[in-house]
Structure 1
Amino acid sequence: MPSNKTCPLVEQYLGYLAVIKGRSENTVNEYRTDLLMFSAL
């Protein structure tokens, strides 16, 4: 999963979603986008 200026904790969470929760790559990418937008506020 490529990082796009996210912190390591966020990347760990996204990895958890993919590996443990079995979320699709598209879902994880959407979560990343949402978290980046939220952190920019």
Structure 2
Amino acid sequence: MFTKIKNSMFNFCMFIMVIYSFLLSYFLSYFINFGVKSLLLV
């Protein structure tokens, strides 16, 4: 029982980490693109 709960918590944490890394990479690429455009305008 305890190992099952521990395993489900681990899977949940991995799921959160994957979503977080995906969002982080998306926002990083967006801000880098925005920064390059602003630098080109200046």
TM-score, length-normalised on structure 2? 0.42
- Whose Rg is larger? 2
More helix per residue: 2
Compute the TM-score of the two structures, normalised by the length of structure 1: 0.43
